[in-house]
């Protein structure tokens, strides 16, 4: 499960007011249920520098977003909510092989 690195801002506070949350997570959490993204030609040169994996545009449908927030796993909810609010999630692979994720919306 994603490990919250940010001190001083809770996930609840982020949902309510925005800000920046930083997490550490493994490649399976980044890719959903697969690490195939690490081999994508369009991404493989950016894994260590930073990249985004924005969700599909269906999250802008309020009924779909509501279902994601009600039934999605923790990381899917944070990711979808951040983009629905106009924010970004930037991933960067760490030497350990884990990923640092910076979620931001204001």
Which pLDDT belongs to residue 55?
85
For the full predicted model, state whether its pTM sits above 0.85: yes
At 42 the pLDDT is 93
Backbone angles phi, psi at 24, to 5 degrees: -115, 130
State the chain's mean pLDDT as an integer. Answer: 94
Residue 1 has pLDDT above 90, yes or no: no
Q: What value does the mean pLDDT take over residues 27-55?
A: 93
How do residues 56-72 score in pLDDT, each as one tens digit? 888 999 999 999 999 99
**What is the pLDDT at residue 99?**
98
Cβ 37 vs Cβ 30: under 8 Å: yes
pLDDT of residue 32: 83
Q: Which structural domain, as residue segments, surrounds residue 87?
A: 3-105
pLDDT at 70: 96
The residues, any chain, with a CB within 8 Å of residue 91's CB and separated by 6 or more, are 30, 47, 50, 51, 52, 53, 99, 100, 101
Number of domains in the chain: 1
Residues 68-88: tens digit of each pLDDT: 999 999 999 999 999 999 999
């Amino acid at each position: 499960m994603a490990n919250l690195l940010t001190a001083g801002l809770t996930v609840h506070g982020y949902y309510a007011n925005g800000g920046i949350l930083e997490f550490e997570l493994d490649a399976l959490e980044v890719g959903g249920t697969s690490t195939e993204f690490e081999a994508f030609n369009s991404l493989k040169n950016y894994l260590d520098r930073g990249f985004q994996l924005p969700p599909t545009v269906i999250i802008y449908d309020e009924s779909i977003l509501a279902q994601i927030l009600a039934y999605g796993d923790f990381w899917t909810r944070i990711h979808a909510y951040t983009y629905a609010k106009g924010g970004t999630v930037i991933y960067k692979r760490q030497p350990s092989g884990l990923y640092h994720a910076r979620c931001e919306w204001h």
